[in-house]
Amino acid sequence: MVQVCSSGDKVKPKMRSLYRYLVEIIWLLSELEAVFSKSYGSIPIRRLYLRMQKIKYGKDIWIGRSFRLLNPKRLILGERCALGDNITISNHTSIEIGDDFLGASGLCLDSGTHDPETLIPETIPIEIGHRVWTGINVTILAGVKVGDDVVIGAGSLVNKNIPSNSIAVGVPAKVIAPLIRDPNINPWSWISKRNKGKKKTPNP
């Protein structure tokens, strides 16, 4: 017996395919925008791309060139997040980044892995706290939790949890020193840099 599909059944896959093409076009335009934008400037097309991918992000965000995102959803960016060039986010499952995050160029976040014996794929969330800075070419692997107020040195491979208030470097990354920040001082952000030198308008 031949099953007859309704016209709606045919339309939905086509619409999904068209939407995927549209998302890729917006991504390409956002890459051009990043090339010609000033550092930490306005990136409305990149924001549109994130919304189309159903990514949650804060009011202030900056993303450089060559930004690659594996899946829609499954990514949360806090307030005042800045990502440099050549960022790869392989969000096989959820990846969450806290407020005041600075990710230098070459950052790779991958929440997917494999069982070493069976090679069966596995997915484990990544959690990154507030006020974290990752240096150039840092890789953070599946299942890692990074605490608040952490600095991760350039070229580090993070495959274990990093506690709050620490500096970690190496392959694999290990804590080499405590990080003590004055709680009364706001962390640097490109927001303050962007607003520096602007004349304040007096209140009427």
Does the pLDDT of residue 5 top 70, yes or no? Answer: no
The answer to whether residue 145 sits within a structural domain is yes
pTM: 0.85
Q: Which domain holds residue 113?
A: 56-181
What letter would DSSP give residue 191? H
Question: What does the pLDDT look like over 182-203, one tens digit per residue?
Answer: 877 777 777 766 666 555 444 4
The verdict on residue 90 lying in a domain is: yes
In a domain, 192, yes or no: no
Q: Could you confirm whether 92 is annotated as catalytic?
A: no
Question: Catalytic residue among 10, 16, 73, 114, which?
Answer: 114
In the chain, the number of structural domains is 1
Q: What is the secondary structure of 2-67 as a DSSP string?
A: PPPPPHHHHHHHHHHHHHHHHHHHHHHHHHHHHHHSPTT---HHHHHHHHHTT-B--SSEEE-SSE
Tens digits of residue pLDDT in 41-85 = 889 999 999 999 999 999 999 999 999 999 999 999 999 999 999
pLDDT above 60 for 33: yes
Residue 88 lies in a domain: yes
What CATH number corresponds to the domain at position 144?
A: 2.160.10.10
Q: What's the confidence (pLDDT) of residue 175?
A: 97
How far is it, in rounded angstroms, from Cα 112 to Cα 65? 24
Whether residue 32 is contained in a domain is answered as no
